Chains A and B, each alone.
Chain A
Amino acid sequence: MTDSPTFSRRSLLKSAAATATIAGANTLGAPMIWAQNIKDITLRQFGTGVSNLNEVAQKLKEDLGFTLEMTALDSDSVTQRAATQPGSFDIADIEYWICKKVWPTGNLQAMDTSKIKNYDKIVGIFRDGKLTPESTIAQGTAPHTVGFTDGPGGTTFADHESGWMTLIPTIYNADTLGIRPDLINRPINNWHELLNPEFKGKASILDISSIGIMDMAMVCESMGEIQYGDKGNMTREEIDKTFAIFTEAKKNGQFRAFWKTFDESVNLMASGEVVIQSMWSPAITAVKSRGIPCVYQPLEEGYRSWGGGIGLSKALTGIELDAAYDYINWYLDGWVGGFLMRQGYYSAVPETSKNFMSENEWGYWFEGKPATDVITSPFGDPLAQAGDIRDGGSFYDRMGAVACWNSVMDENQYMVRRWNEFIAS
């Protein structure tokens, strides 16, 4: 044997073919300047893991030709980055309550709704705040309250559809408690069941202060212990009362554990350590896919809801800005919506997503109808069998029963300190 490199016939052929392709592309280059430029564009997007999906970037590359680089961070880091490093991203995929914190820094630019092709079809929640004309608007940071600004340079929020959007809504859902029906054996209809002594040592709540406090408030209100002025913006007194109730429950051994990550919540539920807890929709799916019964229980007091959207960096201009608008229009065009809705989330423009879903899928996920056949996730896992109905029913049943939106309070720092005390107590 010698050490000299050897070429197989196949690899030689391959590289020859590649060279030929490059040569071909170069000769064709001149009349395709625009297309070439678009291909060179890379948009840097960062956000929380929920909607930062590689499949979306791949499909975008196929459909529009430019590259989307995605970075997934936790919501605290997302907030910090959007607020302090405007040059480090082109597109921020953030939640509406984060927008409330970040928008006043002026790091994001307003979007002209006349350039958004499907603007008129965006769900009312994100426009005038009303899902249907009769809807009442829930407490907390409702998306429409931070969804508009006065003009291209605005740093305050407008209270009407001004034509300039802060975030283009992309994904949202209604959260509630998850339960193990096989271990509880009776109907659960209210949030206060979380602190029912019947489930002593078998309850859990999430250890993420900004969301956990909302679930706590839903419970305390349901118990009739506290009447909040606004659950999304509590006073110190309300915060103290809420923690007093939960600290007592913790000392009495009500909680088995607190969870911080998605996987932890799945394991607690699947192993039977916990039979009732705050949970996220895909976690329910993950428990079910192990063959363990788990219900995303609709409750009388309603849901705690959240919504995310994409915002554009102030630094984005020229062809990149055009590409970003193309991206937004593509996002609302249905493929992404269908992809998200088949995982149990909702799309901002449901009617375009319908084109990318089967009738069975649309009926199950959106209309709350019994499945006519097996429902699978976009990744091929079976999620429901024929005859199953989505927990909570149709889109209008679920999103129409939102009691409170995820939010950031004026007393946030005070709340966080109390939260640390609660964990340490």
Chain B
Amino acid sequence: MHRARHLTGWLQAAPLALILLTFLVLPIITIVIVSFWRATEFSIIPAFVFDNYVFFFTSSVTYKVFFATFKYAAITWALTLTIGFTVAYFLAFHIRSLQLQIGLFLLCTIPFWTSNIIRMISWIPFLGRNGIANSTLISWGVIDQPLEWLLFSDFSVILAFVHLYTLFMVVPIFNTMMRIDRSLMEAARDAGASDWQTLWNVIVPLCKPGIMIGTIFVVTLVMGDFITVRFMSGSQKANVGRLISNDIALLQYPSASATAVVLLCTVLIVIAILLRFVDIRKEL
């Protein structure tokens, strides 16, 4: 009887375990193995050499590009958190009717019915030298010359990131906010707390798991991105993802794998640090 239950447990876990093994663990192992191979211009040679890593860690480009990647992640995180928290707060505490809450929440997701790339590229004619933003500002007399930094700059890259990923902050934060017992807020008010004190001492601590899940989403998405950086910077800026995609285009798979392995480790370390702050399992 005991053995049978034991077996049932294994069998129940098996499908998911198999899927994860085939589609997640094996590819990662392959990438790690290939990262030790050698490559010439048009062939890849199985080997066990550290060339790719040596080049990676001794190149000044690596550090510049990692710095840029962290910069994009940090700024995007701060902005999406501010906007996402505000939107979630408004939805959770200012909208009283459940129907309206659900309606407004769905409204937030409408842009996600179109593809990422389309939403990103539509910024280009908007922000361009002769784009809608510049011509509007000129016609209002705010500026005389078109603002060049609107497009193909760090500004446009981060703008696109914030636009693309804020919803990933809104959803988990909104979710945790909806679980907060309203009587806690009444108690805070009865105890004489101001709105700000309630927000800072009651709501924010209780929202931590949501903030953390949103943070993990945004940070991993931004750190792994390459296409947004390429399009919105007009290929002028680079992050780690672009290094990998350039290597792949040049058939330097081993070098791309090595970069991918380092990026994966970096992201895992970042997530591990984040998880030290909040025990997501306990809080959910």
State the A residues within 8 Å of B (CB): 74, 76-77, 79-80, 83-84, 101-102, 201, 204, 207, 209, 250, 255-260, 267-268, 271-273, 412-413, 416-417, 420-421, 423-425
Query: SS class of chain A's interface: helix, strand, loop or mixed?
Result: helix
Closest-by-CB residue of A relative to B131 is A271
Asked if B243 and A257 sit within 8 Å, CB to CB, the answer is no
In the complex, what residue of chain B is closest to A250 when comparing beta carbons? B236
Chain B residues at the A interface, C-beta cutoff of 8 Å = 41-43, 59-61, 64-65, 68, 124-125, 128-131, 148, 151-152, 230, 233-238, 242-243, 246, 249-251
* Contact present for A421 and B61 (CB under 8 Å): yes
Q: Which chain B residues lie closer than 8 Å to A257 at the CB level?
A: 152, 233-236
Residue in B124, B125, B230, B250 with the greatest tally of chain A CB atoms within 10 Å: B250
B67 to chain A, nearest CB (A): 10
Q: A101-B41, A268-B234, A271-B131 are in contact. List 9 more A-B contacts (CB 8 A).
A: A76-B251, A77-B251, A273-B129, A273-B151, A416-B250, A421-B60, A423-B236, A424-B64, A424-B238
Q: Which residue of A lies closest to B129 (CB)?
A: A273
Q: Chain A residues with Cβ under 8 A from B234's Cβ?
A: 204, 255-259, 268
Q: Which among A74, A101, A102, A424 has the highest number of chain B CB atoms within 10 Å? A: A424
Chain A CB within 10 A, most for which of B230, B233, B235? B235
Interfacial chain A residues near B129, Cβ < 8 Å: 271-273
Q: Is there contact, CB below 8 Å, between A259 and B130?
A: no
B54–chain A nearest beta-carbon distance, Å: 13
Q: Which B residues are in CB contact (< 8 Å) with A101?
A: 41-42
A273 and B128 in contact (CB under 8 A), knowing A76-B249, A84-B43, A421-B61? Answer: yes
**Contact with B61, one of A76, A77, A268, A424 (Cβ below 8 angstroms):** A424
Contacts of A76 in B (CB 8 A): 249-251
Q: Within 8 Å CB of B246, what residues of A?
A: 420, 423
With A76-B251, A101-B41 as known contacts, state yes or no: A260 contacts B61, CB within 8 Å: no
Residues of A within 8 A of B230 (CB): 260
**Nearest neighbor of A77 in chain B, beta-carbon distance:** B251
A424–B243 CB distance below 8 A? yes
Residue of A with least CB distance to B239:
A424
Residues of B within 8 A of A260 (CB): 230, 235
Q: How far is the CA of A417 from the CA of B41 in the complex (A)?
A: 13
Assembly CA distance A273 to B230 (angstroms):
16
Among residues of B, the one whose C-beta sits closest to the C-beta of A259 is B235
Cβ-defined contact, B42 with A84, below 8 A: yes
**Chain B nearest CB, measured from A76 CB (Å):** 6
**Do the beta carbons of A83 and B43 come within 8 Å of each other?**
yes
Q: List the A side residues contacting B125 at CB < 8 Å.
A: 271
B148 with A201: CB separation less than 8 A = yes
CA of A91 to CA of B129, assembled, Å: 45
Most chain A C-beta atoms within 10 Å of own C-beta, residue among B124, B131, B242? B124
Contacts of A102 in B (CB 8 A): 42
Return 11 A-B CB contacts under 8 Å, by A number. A84-B42, A101-B41, A102-B42, A209-B250, A257-B234, A257-B236, A420-B246, A421-B60, A423-B235, A423-B246, A424-B64
Q: How far is the CA of A83 from the CA of B42 in the complex (A)?
A: 7
Residues from chain A with Cβ under 8 Å of B251 in the complex: 76-77, 79-80
| B41 and A413 form a contact (CB under 8 A) | yes
Chain A residues whose C-beta falls within 8 Å of the C-beta of B131 in the assembled complex: 271
**Contact A424 to B65, CB < 8 A, known contacts A257-B152, A273-B128:** yes
- Bound complex: CA A255 to CA B42 (Å): 31
> Known interface pairs A271-B128, A273-B151, A420-B243. Does A207 touch B235 (Cβ–Cβ under 8 Å)?
yes
Question: B61, A420: Cβ atoms under 8 Å?
Answer: yes
A425: B residues at CB distance < 8 A: 61, 64
A355 shortest CB reach to chain B, Å: 40
Q: Which residues of A sit under 8 angstroms from B59, Cβ to Cβ?
A: 417, 421
- C-alpha spacing A267/B65, complex, angstroms: 27
Q: Is the CB of B236 within 8 A of A412?
A: no
Q: Kindly state the separation between the CA atoms of A136 and B152 in the bound complex, as whole angstroms.
A: 42
What A residues does B235 contact at CB under 8 A? 207, 257-260, 423
Chain A contacts for B148, CB-based, 8 A = 201
Contacting residues, chain B, for A256 (C-beta < 8 A)? 152, 234
What residues of B have a CB within 8 angstroms of the CB of A423 in the complex? 235-236, 238, 242, 246
When distances are taken between beta carbons in the complex, the residues of chain A under 8 Å from B233 are 257
Q: How far does the alpha carbon of A77 sit from the alpha carbon of B128 in the complex, in Å?
A: 33
Judging by beta carbons under 8 Å apart, are B130 and A271 in contact? yes
- Residues on A with C-beta less than 8 A from B42 are 79-80, 83-84, 101-102
Contacts of A201 in B (CB 8 A): 148
Q: Is B236 in contact with A258, judged by CB distance below 8 angstroms?
A: yes
Chain B residues with CB under 8 A of A271: 125, 128-131
Q: State in angstroms the CA–CA spacing of A259 and B236 once bound together.
A: 9
Question: Nearest Cβ distance between residue B101 and chain A, in whole angstroms?
Answer: 41
Q: Which residues on A sit within 8 Å (CB–CB) of B43?
A: 83-84
CA distance A102 to B42 in the complex (A): 9
What distance in Å separates the Cβ of A87 from its nearest Cβ neighbour in chain B? Answer: 16
Residues of B within 8 A of A259 (CB): 234-235
Chain B residue nearest to A74 in the complex (CB): B249
In the complex, chain A residues whose CB is within 8 Å of the CB of B151: 273
Once bound together, how far apart are the Cα atoms of A207 and B250, in whole Å? Answer: 12
Bound CA span A412–B39, Å: 13
CA distance A382 to B125 in the complex (A): 26
The residue on A at minimum CB distance from B234 is A257
> What's the minimum C-beta distance from A402 to chain B, rounded to whole angstroms?
25
Residue in B closest to A418 when the chains form the complex, CB atoms: B61
> How far, in angstroms, from A230 to B242 measured CA to CA in the complex?
31
C-alpha spacing A211/B148, complex, angstroms: 28
Instruction: Report the Cα distance A102→B246, complex, angstroms.
Output: 22
- Residue contact A412 to B242, C-beta cutoff 8 Å: no
Q: Please indicate the chain A residues that have their CB under 8 angstroms from the CB of B61 in the complex.
A: 420-421, 424-425
Between B42, B43, B59, B242, the greatest number of chain A beta carbons within 10 A of the residue's beta carbon is seen for B42
